[in-house]
Amino acid sequence: MPRPRSIPVLLLLILAACDGGASGPALDAKTTAVYSRIRAALDAVPAISNHDHLHPSGRMPYADPTANGAAITLHSLWAGSYVTYNIDVPPWPADRSFGTWWKGARNCFDTVRAAGFYRYYLPAFRDLYGVDFETLTDEEAGELNSRIIANHRDPEWVRRVIVTKANLEMVIVDPFWSRIEVRREDPFTVPLLNVHTVIHGSHPSRDSGSRNSPYEFAKSRGRQVRTFDDYLSAVDLIFKEAVAKGAVGIKSTQAYVRTLDFERVDRARAAEVFGIPPDRITAREQKAFEDFMVWHLAALAAAHDLPFQIHTGRGKPDGSNPMLLFDLIAGNPRTKFVLLHGGYPWIEDAAVLAQTHSNVWLDASWMPTLSYTVAKRALREWLECVPASQILWGGDSVHPEGVYASTVLTRECLSDALAEKVVRGELREEQATAIGRMILRENARALYSRLPE
């Protein structure tokens, strides 16, 4: 006669069945009334996107030459989307004909139908244009393209999508096309100061002639930069003007080009490196200069009460783990650090940094687009590790359609994660709704002290 199973083993089997083990599928929280109520409540929140690249109204990128002049087309939207990380979207044809482009493009999405970089955009076509992109006929595709062109020639289109359709109160924009000369372009957007060129500007020839060059900025203000002290003085002026023009934070994208291991370098060492031409400076010397500048900028950010957004994860795979920022974060306790994209795929490492440092915020922007599954898991785990007040979100798109789509996906993913916690008995429904509102809006309001009302 077989021995009866112990109570702990039976309990584990029951839990496994409930959690999607071999005995049965896990409960999909999105099928519950709890999810529907939480989703409705969070859809009603006038949210604040912590991170986007929304271009100014009337100056959208990726315009195509058409028979009736330059226009934002269906090709423009896909060319400016993240699906280009997975596939090559056919270029706009020389004959400027949508029909020619669509003939080559209509089947190019077949290999990415399940990919987040493709699927995140579908709500924009469904909700803003009333079409199912997956079942478009050639005739419907042509009509969709014509409507996109017409909408983007309407000066009110961007506002309608962002404010009315997406229900966004404010969008914090990284204007990478104008990193230093920041300005507030639309009443529903505020800019960041992108410090990428400031960090690597060890010599005037870097970014020479560009509006993003700190040297060109200084020259336009009647200042000469001959010494390292001159350079730091120009950087101080860049900060002061950015604040005066409405910048609410600063942002670094160094993770795309180098490691996030920013060592503490003394000023004398950085001064020695300053002025060495790019063709003569060693990689070690350039790193020392950049490391000093990042620490210097972190101090300036604290002095001006500007949160410091740092791109983490999904950059250079050998150097974008957010844990590499440990010394920088620990050494600048007055600086508010925002770990963009939650360090994906190192979401646990990012959580540890926020758990051990109250001056760290976890940002979920881009994550539902990268992987809905991982984003949902990250939100569940983060809420178990850190106060809900340390979690943010963003859309991370350039066109209003992309911002809308990312916003819809984020509201879905967040509602899904919170509803699951309610169904599991880990939260009461009113607590889950309050947390969702914090993540979508209130945390950004509390963090960015310079955010306008």
Q: What is the 3-state secondary structure (H, E, C) of 156-171?
A: CHHHHHHHHHCCEEEE
The token pair at 390 is 């340390």
Average pLDDT, the chain: 94
| Residue-level pLDDT at 25 | 52
pLDDT band with cut points at 50, 70 and 90 for residue 23: very low
| Residue-level pLDDT at 1 | 37
pLDDT band with cut points at 50, 70 and 90 for residue 22: very low
Of 110, 111, 107, 92, the C-alpha closest to 138 is 107
> What would the pLDDT profile of 174-233 be if each residue is shown by its tens digit?
999 999 999 999 999 999 999 999 999 999 999 999 999 999 999 999 999 999 999 999
> What would the pLDDT profile of 102-119 be if each residue is shown by its tens digit?
999 999 999 999 999 999
Percent of the chain clearing pLDDT 70 (strictly above):
94
| Residue-level pLDDT at 258 | 97
What would the mean pLDDT of 291-297 be, rounded to a whole number? 98
Look up the pTM and report it. Answer: 0.93
What's the alpha-carbon Rg for the chain, to the nearest Å? 24
Question: Residue 270 and residue 75: Cα distance in Å, rounded?
Answer: 46
Residue 248 Cα distances to 16, 194, 429, angstroms: 46, 11, 33
CA angle (257, 261, 262) in 5-degree steps: 95
Q: What are phi and psi of 51, to 5 degrees?
A: -155, 115
| Residue-level pLDDT at 3 | 38
Question: Residue 223 and residue 324: Cα distance in Å, rounded?
Answer: 36
What would the mean pLDDT of 324-336 be, rounded to a whole number? 98
Query: Looking up tokens 């359609």, which residue turns up?
Result: 401
What would the mean pLDDT of 415-441 be, rounded to a whole number? 98
Percent of the chain clearing pLDDT 90 (strictly above):
93
What would the mean pLDDT of 94-98 be, rounded to a whole number? 97
Would you say residue 289 has pLDDT above 80? yes
First to last CA, the chain: 73
What would the mean pLDDT of 234-258 be, rounded to a whole number? 97
CA angle (117, 119, 121) in 5-degree steps: 85
pLDDT band with cut points at 50, 70 and 90 for residue 27: confident
E strand map for 97-220:
168-173, 189-191, 193-194
Question: Residue 43 and residue 37: Cα distance in Å, rounded?
Answer: 10
| Residue-level pLDDT at 40 | 98
Of 349, 371, 410, 360, the C-alpha closest to 166 is 410
Question: Residue 23 and residue 174: Cα distance in Å, rounded?
Answer: 48
For the domain made up of 168-447, the CATH class stated in words is alpha beta
Residue 421 Cα distances to 41, 47, 330, 429, angstroms: 16, 22, 32, 9
> Which helix (H) or strand (E) segment is 444 a member of?
helix 443-447
Query: What 3-state class would DSSP assign to 8?
Result: helix
Query: What 3-state class would DSSP assign to 238?
Result: helix
- 333 contact partners, CB below 8 Å, separation of at least 6: 357, 359
Instruction: Give the start-to-end residue ranges of the domains of the chain.
Output: 64-152, 168-447
Q: Which amino acid is at 366?
A: W
